[in-house]
């Protein structure tokens, strides 16, 4: 589903990603873990072309992301074409970014209507089904200001799912939540994983990684330091940097 081939990204003279090569299979859940500033979120944003890679290439479901290739050269896509690719990649951010003037139902309905051209009836039915799926059927008419952080993040997940993405990206979706609200969001993500959704999750929730992830990747300094099955890496990390990090978070 996702193929990263020697992906690098620089901001000026600061090289944030250094030749990252990763593969995510269809239906796989990959957890990206590492200290702040290690490049995890930047890599996630490169996958849907919110950040333009400086070198290398990224493909999702066989399609080159953000570029087209002609005569052995890469040409960046027009923003409209890039946006069309992005429709099939759902992303959930640390902050919920809900439209404050719209109810939960309206937030979930908006993109399918505006971007995909669904009728109001179709969009509303899909939105109600998704709000029920994330346990918020009784909060459909609530505005974001009247929802808890955990509830807002679950609406954000429903909103991403409303576009029927083939891939879901989660950028530390529980980091802005009070500890007692983390579980309700992780439960929704666990349900997604069980349904076969391909997911890449930047997280510090090691219990979630151990229970749900198929692959575990530790990044530091823009480099993949170690990767493998969560049970193996968490129980017996091989790299000293991985050992030092995990000793502080486990």
Compute the distance between CA of residue 169 and CA of residue 93 in angstroms, rounded to an integer: 8
What's the pLDDT tens digit per position in 149-182? 999 999 999 999 999 999 999 999 999 899 999 9
pLDDT bucket at 50, cuts 50 / 70 / 90: very high
pTM assigned to the model: 0.95
Q: How many CB atoms are located within 10 Å of the residue 229 CB?
A: 13
The pLDDT of residue 128 is above 90: yes
Residue with tokens 């990252």: 20
What strands lie across the sheet with 223-228, from one edge to the other? 89-92, 167-171, 198-202, 29-33, 215-220, 223-228
What's the pLDDT tens digit per position in 72-117? 888 999 999 998 999 999 999 999 899 999 999 999 999 999 999 9
């Amino acid at each position: 589903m996702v193929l990263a081939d020697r992906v690098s990204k620089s901001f000026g003279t600061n090289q944030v990603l250094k030749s990252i090569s990763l593969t995510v299979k269809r239906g796989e859940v990959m957890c990206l873990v590492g200290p702040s500033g290690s490049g995890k979120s930047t890599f996630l944003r490169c996958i849907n072309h919110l950040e333009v890679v400086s070198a290398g290439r990224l493909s999702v479901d066989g399609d080159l992301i953000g570029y087209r290739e002609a005569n052995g050269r890469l040409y960046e896509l027009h923003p409209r074409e890039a946006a069309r690719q992005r429709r099939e990649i759902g992303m959930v951010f640390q902050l919920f970014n809900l439209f404050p003037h719209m109810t939960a139902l309206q937030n979930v309905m908006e993109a399918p209507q505006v971007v995909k051209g669904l009728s109001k009836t179709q969009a509303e039915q899909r939105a109600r089904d998704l709000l029920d799926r994330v346990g918020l059927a009784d909060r459909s008419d609530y505005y974001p200001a009247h929802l808890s952080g955990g509830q807002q993040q679950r609406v954000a997940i429903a909103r991403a799912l409303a576009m029927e993405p083939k891939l879901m990206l989660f950028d530390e979706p529980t980091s802005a939540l009070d500890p007692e609200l983390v579980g309700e969001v992780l439960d929704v993500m666990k349900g997604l994983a069980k349904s076969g959704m391909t997911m890449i999750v930047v997280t510090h929730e090691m219990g979630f990684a151990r229970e749900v992830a198929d692959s575990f990747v530790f990044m530091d300094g823009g480099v993949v330091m170690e990767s493998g099955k969560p049970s193996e890496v968490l129980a017996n990390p091989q790299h000293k940097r991985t050992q030092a990090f995990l000793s502080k978070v486990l």
